[in-house]
Amino acid sequence: MSAITHRGRRPGRRPRRSWVPLMLSVAVCLSAVTLAGPAQAVPANDTIVDSTRRGGNTVALTFDDGPNPADTPRLLEVLRQHRVKAVFCLWGDYVLAHPDIVRAIAADGHVLCNHSMHHDDMASWEPERVRADLLQTSAAIRRAVPGARIPYFRAPYGSWGQSGTVAADLGMQPLGWRLAVADWEPTPADELVRRILEGVTPGAVVLLHDGGGDRSPTVDAVERIIPDLRSRGWRFDLPARRG
């Protein structure tokens, strides 16, 4: 007859343990990571950033409302030729429509920014509604670029309401601008060049657009102002990571 220990167990056999609590804990953790995305290197706060990291004669180029298959690829080519990194503030609907362009933006080493899902004015929105929109947009971006860092959020129309605080809670620094040249209106490239060169100030974040309409004049202007500014001693930087 086999030897039986007390409580009826055979020698050397460990009692069975339920893995259900452990699996539930892991599932909760994975769910939280999926919603929030990868941890950002620097914590965010709700101050709206409008300056570069280094200050001085530096400028940061930021582009809203893409990706846009008509103009974003050529803009990427211009930035690549001049070895300039920029911030692309992505409109969620267009991210879903053109994920290949989002991947091209990321592959070139540019910085991704959440610009909301449908480009709605969020000024009067409750925090829960803002949060749902920002999470949906970030999920769309990460569907195109798995594991992508999204360190910034820019409110559509610069109409912030409570969106800056919600974005900071999600690890995204609110991103503003110091110079806007109104390229969302039909404007010749010559005029855009003039507005940028005359309006830029040390450490400025510049608001431009690669989507939302015909942005070929903007791309033409960017191609011209980069070498011009460099010849005047300016350097290209990224926005500050924290206000």
Pairing of strands 111-114, 235-236: unpaired
Concatenated DSSP letters for 87-111?
EEEE-HHHHHH-HHHHHHHHHTTPE
- 108 among known catalytic residues: no
Q: Catalytic one among 115, 119, 209, 237?
A: 209
Rounded to 5 degrees, φ, ψ at 78 are -65, -45
Identify any residues that bridge with 90 across adjacent strands, giving them in sequence order.
66, 114
Q: Is 84 helix (H, G, I), strand (E, B) or coil?
A: coil
Whether 64 is catalytic: yes
| CA gap 147, 207 in Å, rounded | 26
User: Distance (Å, rounded) from C-alpha 28 to C-alpha 41?
Assistant: 23
Annotated active-site positions, please?
A: 64, 209
